[in-house]
Structure 1
Amino acid sequence: MQQTRLKLILISAFIFITASSGRNIPVYNAGSNNVKVITYNVHHCNPPEKAGVIDVNAIAAVIKKQNADIAAVQEIDVNTVRSGKINEAEQLATKAGYKSSFFAKAMDYDGGQYGILILSKYPLTETKAYALPMDSSNGGEQRMLATGTVTLPGGKTFRFGCTHLEAYHKTSRDLQIKEICRIADETSLPFIVAGDFNANEGSDVINTLDEHFMRTCSNCPPTFWEDGETGAIDFIASKPKNAITVLSHNVIQNKEASDHMPVVAELQLK
C-alpha cells in the first residue's frame, strides 16, 4: 500500500515538474516574424519654439511609448556645443530602452558630431555607414545611409537602413535615393529603409523609391510642419515587395518634442 502511494507521489511530482519546466520553453508563433518600426527626425532633441532647449527625455519618452523593435532617428548631436556636449545617441538608447545602437556621423559640427542613429531591441550586426553622393555644384551637408542586419527572435533576418536626404537641392536628393536603391540591391535579405527623405509623394525621389521599395502608406498623412509648411516627407519602405506585408501605418500626433512627427509601421516578414 505504501509502495503504491509512493509511486503515485513520484508520478505526480514528475508530471508537475515536466509541466512547470515546459512553461520556460520559448514558443515562437507567427508574431515572431513581425517587426514594428519607427522613424523620427528629432531636431537634435530641440523642441519647437524653444530655442536653445535640449530635451532628450521628451524624445526618448516618445520613442519608448511606441515600443518599436527598431528605430531610425535623424538629426542626432554627439558632444556638440549647441546640445550641451552630451552624447544624444547613447542617451536615447539608454532612456528609450534599446540594447543595440549604431550612430553614423554625417559631419563634424560645433565641436562634436552630427548624424543619424539606428536603435534596435534585437541584435544589430554588420553595421555600415555609407556617405551618399552630392551634386558638387550646389554643395550642402553630407548625407548618410546607416545600415545593419537585424535578427528577430524567430530567427528571421533583414537589413535595416536609416537615412536623411538633402533638404534644399533636388539634384542631390535624386543622386542619394538612387544610391540607396543600389546599396539595397546588393543584399539578398529583405531590406527595410526608413527616414526623412525631404521629398513629397509624386516627386522624382519618391517615384524612384517606389520603383524599388514598397512604402507602408500611400496618400500619407503629414509628418512635419515648419514655417507654415506641412506634408509627408518621412517614410518607411521595404523590398522585395512580395517579402513583407504591411500590417499598419500611423503618424503619431506629437508636435511638442520635435518639428517632425514619428511615423510607425508594423510589418510582417513572410
Structure 2
Amino acid sequence: MSRLEARAQGEVDVKVMTFNIQSGLRGLDKVAEVIRSAGPDIVALQEVDVGSVRAGGANQPERLAALTGLVHHAHFRTTTLWGGDYGVGLLSRFPVLSLEQHPLPVAKGAEPRTVAHAVLDVEGQEVSVYVTHLTRRPFNDAVRIQQSTAILALMARDARPKLLMGDLNDTPESTSLRLFKRQLHDVFALRGVGPAVTYPLPVIPSLRLDYVLACGQFVPRHGEVLHVNASDHYPVVANLTLRAPALVSAEAPPAEGSSGVASAMP
C-alpha cells in the first residue's frame, strides 16, 4: 500500500523536508541524492540560486526537480548574488495551485528576506506551505521577532491546513520560536528521534536552526535530522498525517510534551 494511503477516510500521510542547501556548493547532485533517499513529498529549500555564476548558470529548483522526481517546483527571489537570483524554493509531488511571496522586515541595509506561500493540492485538500529563511544570527533577535510576527499575521488570515518550514536562524528557546509555537507544533520537539542539531559547528556548540512547524490540522508522527555532508546545514524530515476536515478542531496546539498531542497519536 502507498505511504500516501488514507489512515481513515479523508486522512492523508505526508512526508516533508526542510533543507538549507548552501547554494549547492558541495554539489547539487549530493543534495538531490539526500532528497531522493529520504523520499519526501514536499521540500522547502533555502539558499537557492537561479542563473548565478556559482551555480554554473543553473536553475537549481528546476534541476533538483528533474533529479528527484518532485516535478512541481518554484523559486522565490530575495536578492541578486553572484550574477543570479538568490532566495528560497519549493519542490513538491503534489500539484501547485498558487504561489506568492511577501517581503519581511529587515534592518536597514541588511539582506532582504521573504516568506514564500504555496497552495498545494494534497489528495483533494488545499494545503498552504510557507517557506522562509530568517535573518541570520547573532545580534538580530529583534528583527527575527518582527519577521515571526509578520509571518504569523499572514498565516492567521489563511484558513487552510498550514506548514511553515525553513531555516529560522534561531534556537528553540528563543522569543521568535516561542511566538511560532503558540500557534504551531514543532514536529521534531514532539516526535523527533536522534540528535536535534541542524547546524554543526567545529568549536562553539552546534545549533538547532531548521524547523518543520505544523498547524493543528496535522498530526505529527515522526521527525528526524539527517546527518549528511551535502551542505553546511542538516535537513529535517517529518512524517505527518493531514486530518480530514471534519475531524479538525479549532483548538490551538498544546504545549510540547503535553497530553493533548500525545492523545491524538497511536
TM-score, with normalisation over the residues of structure 2? Answer: 0.83
Q: Measure, in 2, the Cα distance between the counterparts of 1:166 and 1:251.
A: 22
The yes-or-no answer on 1:248 pairing with 2:212 is: no
Find the structure with the greater CA-based Rg. 1
How far apart, in 1, do the equivalents of 2:167 and 2:104 lie?
Answer: 14
Map of 2:116 onto structure 1: 146
Q: Which runs of 5+ in 1 are unaligned?
A: 1-26, 48-54
State the partner residue of 2:22: 43
Output one character per residue of 1:180-200: Cα deviation in whole Å (capped at 9) or x when no partner: 111111111111010000000
Instruction: Please give the secondary structure, in 2, of the residue aligned with 1:217.
Output: helix
TM-superposed CA distance for 1:217, in Å, is 2.2
Q: Distance in 2 between matches of 1:65 and 1:248?
A: 17
Identify which range, 105-114 or 224-233, moves more after superposition: 224-233
Q: What CA distance in whole angstroms lies between the structure 2 residues aligned with 1:28 and 1:87?
A: 33
Once residues 72 and 54 of structure 2 are traced to their aligned partners in structure 1, the CA distance between those partners, rounded to angstroms, is 26
CA offsets 1:136-164 (integer angstroms, 9 cap, x no match): 3xx321111111111122x2221001110
The equivalent residue for 2:198 is 223
The 8 Å contact of residues 33 and 156 in structure 1, kept in 2 or not, is answered as no
Aligned residue for 1:22?
Answer: none
Counterparts of 2:203 and 2:25 in 1: how far apart (Å)?
18
Which whole-Å CA distance do the structure 1 matches of 2:5 and 2:41 have between them? 16
In the alignment, the residues of structure 1 paired with residue 173 and residue 5 of structure 2 have an alpha-carbon distance, to the nearest angstrom, of 40
Give the 5 Å matches for 1:93-132.
93-132=65-104
Match for 2:218: what amino acid?
Answer: I
Residue 205 of structure 1 corresponds to 176
What does 1:19-168 correspond to in 2, within 5 Å? 29-30=6-7, 33-47=12-26, 55-136=27-108, 139-153=109-123, 155-168=124-137
Equivalent residue of 1:173, what SS? helix
Q: How far apart are the structure 1 equivalents of 2:96 and 2:201? A: 34
How many Å apart are 1:135 and its aligned residue?
2.7
* Residue of structure 2 equivalent to 1:258: 231
CA distance in 1 between counterparts of 2:114 and 2:176 reads 16
How many residues are matched?
A: 231
Of all paired residues, the percent bearing the same amino acid is 26
Give the deviation of 1:237 after TM superposition: 0.6
Structure-1 separation of matches of 2:103 and 2:60: 21
1:30 to partner: Cα distance: 2.2
Q: Contact (CA 8 Å) 1:135, 1:171: kept in 2 or not?
A: no
RMSD: 1.7
C-alpha distance 28-199 of structure 1, shift in aligned 2 (>3 A): closer
Letter in 2 for 1:150: L
How far the C-alpha of 1:28 sits from its partner, in A, is 5.3
CA distance in 2, matches of 1:194, 1:28: 23
Structure 2: which amino acid aligns with 1:101?
A: H
Structure 2 unaligned segments of length 5 or more: list them: 244-266
8 A Cα contact 1:42 1:258, kept in partner: yes
Give 1:111's aligned amino acid: G
